[in-house]
Copies of this chain bind each other. A is one copy, B any other.
Amino acid sequence: MTVSRVMNQTGYVHPATREKVLRVANEFNYRRNGLARGLKMQCTETIGLVIGDVANPFAAEVIRGVREVLTARGYTLFVCVCEQSIKEEVAAFESLADHRVDGIIVATRASQSGNAHLKKLIESGVPVVALGRDFAHRHTDFVSADHLKGGYDATAHLIQLGHKHIGFIGTKQTYGAGLKRFQGYLEALRAHRITPQEQLIVGGQNDADQTPGYSTEEIGYAGMNRLLDLRKPPTAIFARNDFTALGAISAIKQRGLCIPQDVAVVGFDDVPLASHTSPPLTTVFQPTHEQGKIAAEFMLRRIEALEPMPRAERVLPCRLVIRESTVAGGIGAN
């Protein structure tokens, strides 16, 4: 008991006793057992973050944001990576719940069975915050960027440059943000009285229950080639994310075409790489770091509230970053 008081710096302990305890603890390499503590205290001061793909720069920024807030408040962050596999995602939920983290921030892609498991978790009392993924639940907070508006702005930008024949490349998963970006594309076209054309939309749909929608450089490359093979290829491309855009750029260059003169390209996410491509990529910036911070704040608020909290939502604006893949000229054109 006295040891406990020394370790937690609570209650009265005689300075001499404190010294002695610390000395002996040091001598025997004593560490307080967090399992026993968590068991007794019913809290571990630990938050789990489930993320699909760490290779994605999005992940790094989210982690940074979440961590920033959590460490400042004395919480530890454990990150679980599930490599875009729903089976692994569910396993991560179970693991985190088993180890009694105080809350789980979920930043994976939405999926049917993932959502079902999540719902069970929430009903068993684990606080959950959804980040950048659709998830509706009475007791779950939600943070995201405005992908719909982002997609709209990207497409409107191309339209304002005079493009009328605008392609979309990327997997259009049935769940989640990817769909929103695509809807933004459609809405922008319609708002400017351009009829969306089926053959200009490539990348396919995913079976949302097997692999969550994820769009890669390969998809961008293959998709762009399909578009360039059309009798009347598009003069501009809105890619679902920067990696897809990058693949598209490779395909365009390989045919000896010029960007943006022959084909203009807009991506999404503004990954660090985007400003280093040639030409530098016009893209939509989403405040990822900010999303992480807000998710963490929502989580702490929820944990520290004594009674069940109502759902909090926050949708952050995106910002179009215009570079030379849509507007010619500038120093970096190389």
Contacts and interface: CB of A to CB of B under 8 A. Distances in A.
Nearest to A64: B83
Contact of A76 (B34, B53, B80): B80
B33 A100 contact: yes
A81 B83 contact: no
A305 interface: no
Q: How many copies does the complex hold?
A: 2
A195 interface: no
A278 B334 contact: yes
A246 B31 contact: no
B35 A39 contact: yes
A60 B64 contact: no
Contact of A54 (B29, B60, B125): B60
A97 interface: yes
A17 interface: no
A63 B79 CA distance: 11
A31 B80 contact: no
A98 B31 contact: yes
B35 A44 contact: yes
A272 B217 CA distance: 11
Interface in A53-67: 53-55, 57, 59-61, 63-64, 67
A273 B272 CA distance: 10
Contacts of A54: 54, 59-60, 63-64, 79
Q: How would you classify the secondary structure of chain A's contact residues: helix, strand, loop or mixed?
A: helix
B83 A120 contact: no
Interface in A61-86: 61, 63-64, 67, 71, 76-81, 83
Contacts of A61: 55
A55 B292 CA distance: 15
A144 interface: no
A95 interface: yes
Residue picked from A39, A78, A97, A253, most chain B C-beta under 10 Å: A78
Contacts of A79: 54, 78-81
Nearest to A75: B95
Contact of A120 (B29, B76, B100): B29
A124 interface: yes
A276 interface: yes
9 contacts: A32-B98, A33-B100, A46-B99, A63-B81, A78-B78, A78-B80, A79-B80, A276-B277, A278-B278
Interface of A: 29, 31-39, 44, 46, 53-55, 57, 59-61, 63-64, 67, 71, 76-81, 83, 88, 91-92, 95, 97-100, 120, 123-125, 246, 250, 253-254, 272-273, 276-278, 331, 334
